[in-house]
A and B are shown apart, each in its own frame.
Chain A
Amino acid sequence: MDYLEIIDRSDSGEYISEENWDLEKVAMTCMRLVSQYDLKWDRQNLVPDDPALADRVFAAGLALAVEIGAYNRSSERILRFERDELESALRDMKQTLSMGQGADERVLFARQIEDSRPPLVWAGNPGAPHPEALFLPAVVSWAQEPIVDLITCGTLAEVDGREVRTGEALEITATRRELTYLHQALAHVGRPGMGMLAAQSSVSELGDLAAANPDYLRTCDAHLVPMLNELKIDNRNIARAVNSIEYGMRNGGLYCAISGGLGGDAPGCALISVASMILGLLTNRADYHILHPIHIRHVATSTREVLWVESVVLQAFARNAPAIIVTDVYPKSGALTRELLYETAANALAITVSGGHLEGCGSADGLVPHATGLEPRLMGEVGHAACRQGVTRAQANQWILQLMEKYEHVFRMPEGNPGARFDQAYDLETLQPLPEWTRMYEEVKTELKEMGLDLSG
């Protein structure tokens, strides 16, 4: 089904108000399907080894997609799809996807549960606003890490000291400058062909159009096309997807279902995530998926609810419709805190053994420029070690629970645990972590080794 058909259905589908979509369609249907498919979660079993549960989550998600479809917020119409249309999209789903070029090219692939092939490590903090002076050094800090395969970045909140406003002239400037800095970073670390998920400073189609040029986003790179909460798209995001298709670039379908939101608790979030990813193949024209569930109160992906959702959704696809799923790591804590490293390790374990690739870290919820290259290094090391060692879901769960004892208190801190800004954690001359940050990293690695994870490789 091509995008013209999506545009047609956006204009001709059944009308429904957004409030009724949210309540009558999404919330009511989720409530019924969670009960019908007996979807339950256990706060002590965040990486379940339960094939039947994974299959039920997938079946319920597909049922949701078939039953209600997606909603076009611009036209206030429902986009309905027949079961065979969705199943056909699943069958045609890419199993490999080349990113980047030349010696730096990497191939994303559909991972399996407890796959011995290590996840690709996609480093960066999409969405986090950065002052212009810190943008390039921050990107270099993770691009220089040998374990990193692909990069992404935050946004430029200002250029030349002026605030960037969505949909106005400086969005174009900011998007092109972001891409210029990214290419400078890749040249600086000697990996000019690395694949990127970028143009993060582009929120409207203005930035997207400005970046669709080989000097900025190349056709071997990717850009986000988000599904809006929940199960919604709008004409502007369809336009972004079409821009990528016409240009020949990759679309990363982004799905941020909310645990505690319209689907209710974690099981409802899981089935919305599955439905989003199935529908996103058609509505978002996704070449690969970015799984990023959100906790309604704490945001972070390191909460029990979100860890469970990420794990069970990855397993649901791995068993029923193998897919390329890059899974976000957005810890609550920021740089120069031990908790950031514990959260990163817990997230990386859950994702790796469940069948996902790793993307992050959106440290401090991705709200501030408090991310560095050190935590994606650890994220990759943990993911690689888990594969090398053949870590099972049960073992990963046990370690995650131990790690949670060390970091779960951050969700009770009124101001969160934002830690320090990039330039307080890294030396801006050498672009290496400051001694205190290195010491914390080494100490946490020692703790992980003592726990049983073989980080010697």
Chain B
Amino acid sequence: MNDVIITAIQQTLIEGNVETAETAARAALEAGVDAQTILNEGLMRGADIVGQQFEAGEVFLPQLMFTARALKAAMAIITPELKRLSAESGISSSKGRVVLATIQSDIHDIGKNIVSTMLTTGGFEVIDLGVDVPIKRIISTALDEGADIIGCSAMLTTSMPFMSDLIKTLEAMGQRERFKVMIGGASVTPAYAERIGADGTAANAVQALQLARQFMQNALA
């Protein structure tokens, strides 16, 4: 019975349908399926399938975004139960919290949006601040929200220095060790990331998700 319910949840994610995702999540809870199982085997698995299809070029950006939207809607249904379980066990269901932004002076956001969607479908809580975000706001949000990771993107070469400024500011504030900093963008290379003291970079959204997971695993180790 649970298998049928879980498969149905996966399917709603693959279809990216908000209403059916909410209905399926609600029905699963009512049927007594564990919220953690709904999350890991239903929602995350469904989102993962779409993420793989996107990476293979079998589906396109809208499908990925619709899946992320359905995931958020279904998460809202099961979150109270997840919180209750989390309080009981002391284990969080979140994979980690990421503050994401296109850095100050740059307004290009497609790449950042894809990363945001992939991280969301990968189970991360993403606080997406949008484009042209001043570094002070990125840092204050990360501190206020208790973020694990700060992610910044820049497509323009002349915006990249602001990513270096962000890291220097964290250092000056004595807050550098609180966050992992990942950077990305068309002109960002691993050598550049290393030079400015970032913790890593990714060439695409799939790699960004892998990098974020790696950060969190290392933090737990």
Contacts and interface: CB of A to CB of B under 8 A. Distances in A.
A23 B159 contact: no
A443 interface: no
Interface string B176-196: 000000000011000000000
Interface string B96-111: 0000000011110110
A203 interface: yes
Nearest to B114: A296
Interface string A1-27: 000000000000000001000110001
Q: What size tier do the contact residues of chain B reach? A: 20 to 34
A167 interface: yes
Interface stretch (A133-141, A259-267, A310-318, A339-347): A259-267
B187 A23 contact: no
Contacts of B57: 260, 297
Contact of A31 (B62, B104, B162, B187): B62
A42 B204 CA distance: 27
A268 B62 CA distance: 11
Nearest to B157: A129
B61 interface: yes
B79 to A, nearest CB: 20
Given A129-B187, A155-B157, A367-B187, A166 B60 contact: no
A307 interface: no
Contacts of A268: 60
Q: What size tier do the contact residues of chain A reach? A: 35 or more
Interface in B122-157: 130, 156-157
Nearest to A366: B186
Contacts of A165: 105, 158-159, 161-162
Given A165-B105, A260-B60, A157 B65 contact: no
A203 B103 CA distance: 14
A52 to B, nearest CB: 25
A27 B62 contact: yes
A171 interface: yes
A236 B66 CA distance: 30
Main secondary structure of the interface of B (DSSP, over half): loop
A166 B156 contact: yes
A167 B60 contact: no
B86 to A, nearest CB: 28
Contacts of B104: 167
B45 interface: no
Nearest to B113: A22
Given A163-B161, A166-B156, A203-B156, A228 B107 contact: yes
A262 B61 contact: yes
Interface string A196-239: 00000101100000000000000000000000110000101000
A367 B57 CA distance: 23
Given A258-B110, A261-B110, A167 B62 contact: no
B52 to A, nearest CB: 14
A186 interface: no
Contacts of A261: 60-61, 110
A18 B129 CA distance: 12
Contacts of A31: 62
A144 B200 CA distance: 42
Contact of B62 (A23, A157, A171): A23
A351 interface: no
A203 B105 contact: yes
Given A23-B69, A164-B157, A265-B60, 8 more contacts: A18-B130, A27-B62, A129-B157, A163-B161, A165-B162, A166-B156, A171-B158, A258-B61
17 contacts: A22-B65, A22-B113, A27-B61, A27-B65, A27-B66, A155-B158, A165-B159, A166-B159, A167-B105, A229-B109, A260-B57, A260-B60, A262-B62, A264-B60, A296-B60, A297-B57, A299-B186
Q: Which 8 residue pairs spanning A and B have beta carbons closest together?
A: A27-B62, A166-B105, A129-B157, A166-B158, A264-B60, A157-B157, A167-B105, A163-B161
Interface of A: 18, 22-23, 27-28, 30-31, 73, 129, 155, 157, 163-167, 171, 174, 201, 203-204, 228-229, 234, 236, 258, 260-262, 264-265, 268, 296-297, 299, 365, 367
